[in-house]
């Protein structure tokens, strides 16, 4: 009830939650208490958790931040929700997000923008902005987010919390509303790396209902937390510390690197020459996949349907015109264009080739280091409204996060300091495939 009270008091100002249901939360809490009394409690039994409104949860509205799904109550639960419920975690509510996870500022939500608790004029980041704010404002001890091109790491950075996007295939996408399926990955957000590790222990693992889920032996992501960092090889990509990075963020990241040096890490310079191509490649591939994934919202099967129409085609058109916001429409237009006959080779195929080059850049870099460090975003959180009418400028701010998704690598953000204006700045830690335990170790030692 402590968290429910806090949500009741602060959510009207923050807008971090789309749906709360105190009755249901208390019912789950009582069940967790009973499990504990019966000696059946695990490490997270009774721990409250907030879910990004992209994870289907049986009996809860799952809107994905869209008018299209404003009336949609999920008939089943996502794999990760099943896992968290089975671990005895208690649902606190469903958090706000950019519509269909498209955005970097949470301004694209049908339910209105989320406020950054550090500064009400600042965006919280996106698209998992509600989850980041819920954790930052202590409305929840932990939350789940998703990251297609930075949506866990960037809001974590802007709100001063910790978040990890695991290696693609680690967390099942079953029941997670699809944006760009080859990039989407769910992950934990919490105050500390240790909490993220505990939550990752619950949600990671093979699921036959997601064809890209990886069949690997379960691991304990907390196992390396206490390991000293002596001899750790830290790679700094030349391209991440070049033009475009703001002075404040550079300073915070630099002092984080100094701290890691004092902890015994050794710094080497690496190069990721194709970094700048990650923006055009991502903004071809992600919309292409989105245009296909979002074709299911036709007003027939579920979700919004226009009230008046003359025939079937008119019904489709009105439904989609009313149900989707501007950014989603923009992505669908771009996506169908780059996939269309005659343009496919020039855009989509080329983007796939760039994707391979980006993955190769990382492969070479990881021959020389254990983890790569850098900024999460070029600046601290910008003002609400500042980039709302400038989508290209907004896309450019994803420069340090997109390539990690294109390569399928794990990445995380850890709070590292503050910009001159008092807004939080995160440090990005990128690891090789399946090196989550090592990354969490670095983050834990740093914290
Ligand atoms: N900002 C990126 C986009 O708008 C990433 C979003 C995400 O990771 N879901 O597509």
At 377-432, the pLDDT tens digits run 999 999 999 999 999 999 999 999 999 999 999 999 999 999 999 999 999 999 99
Distance 156 CA to ligand 1 centre (A): 13
Evaluate whether residue 116 is within a structural domain. Answer: yes
At 1 the pLDDT is: 82
* pTM recorded for the entire structure: 0.97
**Whose C-alpha lies nearest to ligand 1, atom 5?**
149
- Mutation test residue for ligand 1: of 177, 286, 403, 405, the one with most atoms within 8 Å of CB: 286
Buried b (16+ CB within 10 A) or exposed e, 65-91: bbbbbbebebeebbbbbbbbbebbbbb
Evaluate whether residue 253 is within a structural domain. Answer: no
Closest atom of ligand 1 to CA, residue 104: 1
Distance 265 CA to ligand 1 centre (A): 32
The CATH number of the domain holding residue 165 is 3.90.1300.10
Evaluate whether residue 392 is within a structural domain. Answer: no
Evaluate whether residue 267 is within a structural domain. Answer: no
Kind and range of the H or E element at 280?
Answer: helix 278-293
Active site residue 181: no
Evaluate whether residue 131 is within a structural domain. Answer: yes
Task: Say yes or no: CB of residue 128 within 6 Å of ligand 1.
Answer: no
Q: Which residues pair with residue 431 across a beta bridge?
A: 371
Q: With 90 as the cut, is the pLDDT of residue 190 above it? A: yes
Evaluate whether residue 374 is within a structural domain. Answer: no
At 94 the pLDDT is: 98
Task: Say yes or no: CB of residue 148 within 6 Å of ligand 1.
Answer: yes
Evaluate whether residue 268 is within a structural domain. Answer: no
Residue 186: closest CA among 128, 116, 102: 128
Range of the domain at 175: 2-203
DSSP E strands in 252-376: the ranges are 266-270, 371-375
The total number of structural domains that make up the chain: 1
Report the alpha-carbon distance of residue 430 to residue 193 in Å, rounded.
14
Evaluate whether residue 222 is within a structural domain. Answer: no
Q: Are the C-beta atoms of residues 92 and 5 closer than 8 Å to each other? A: no
Q: With 90 as the cut, is the pLDDT of residue 138 above it? A: yes
């Amino acid at each position: 009830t402590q968290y429910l009270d806090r949500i009741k008091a602060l959510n009207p100002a923050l807008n971090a939650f789309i749906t709360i249901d105190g009755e249901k939360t208390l019912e789950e809490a009582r069940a967790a208490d009973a499990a504990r009394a019966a000696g059946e409690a695990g490490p997270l039994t009774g721990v409250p958790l907030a879910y990004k409104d992209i994870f289907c949860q049986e009996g809860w509205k799952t809107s994905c931040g869209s008018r299209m799904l404003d009336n949609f109550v999920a008939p089943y639960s996502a794999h990760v929700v099943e896992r968290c419920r089975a671990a005895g975690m208690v649902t606190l509510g469903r958090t706000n997000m950019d519509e269909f996870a498209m955005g970097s500022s949470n301004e694209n939500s049908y339910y209105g923008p989320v406020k950054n608790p550090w500064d009400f004029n600042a965006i919280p980041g996106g698209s998992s902005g509600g989850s980041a704010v819920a954790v930052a404002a202590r409305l929840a001890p932990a939350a789940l987010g998703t990251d297609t091109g930075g949506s866990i790491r960037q809001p974590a950075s802007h709100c001063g919390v910790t978040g990890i996007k695991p290696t693609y295939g680690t967390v099942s996408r079953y029941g997670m509303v699809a944006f760009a399926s080859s990039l989407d990955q769910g992950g934990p957000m919490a105050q500390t790396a240790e909490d993220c590790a505990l939550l990752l222990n619950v949600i990671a693992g093979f699921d036959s209902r997601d064809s890209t889920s990886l069949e690997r032996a379960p691991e304990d992501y907390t196992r390396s937390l206490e390991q000293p960092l002596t001899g750790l090889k830290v790679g700094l990509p030349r391209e991440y510390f070049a033009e475009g990075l703001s002075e404040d963020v550079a300073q915070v990241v630099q002092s984080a690197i100094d701290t890691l040096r004092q902890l015994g890490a050794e710094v080497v310079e690496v190069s990721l020459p194709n970094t700048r191509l990650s923006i055009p490649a991502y903004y071809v591939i992600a919309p292409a996949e989105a245009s296909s994934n979002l074709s299911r919202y036709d007003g027939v099967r579920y979700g919004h349907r226009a009230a008046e129409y003359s025939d079937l085609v008119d019904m489709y058109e009105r439904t989609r015109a009313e149900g989707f916001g501007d950014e989603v429409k923009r992505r669908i237009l771009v996506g169908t264009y780059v996939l269309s006959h005659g343009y496919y080779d020039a855009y989509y195929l080329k983007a796939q080739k760039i994707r391979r080059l980006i993955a190769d850049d990382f492969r070479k870099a990881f021959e020389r280091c254990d983890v790569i460090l850098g900024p999460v975003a070029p600046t601290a959180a910008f003002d609400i409204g500042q980039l709302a009418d400038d989508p290209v400028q907004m896309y450019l701010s994803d420069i340090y996060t997109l390539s990690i998704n294109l390569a399928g690598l794990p990445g995380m953000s850890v709070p590292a300091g503050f910009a001159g204006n008092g807004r939080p700045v995160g440090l990005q830690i990128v690891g090789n495939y399946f090196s989550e335990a090592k990354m969490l170790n670095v983050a834990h030692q740093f914290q």
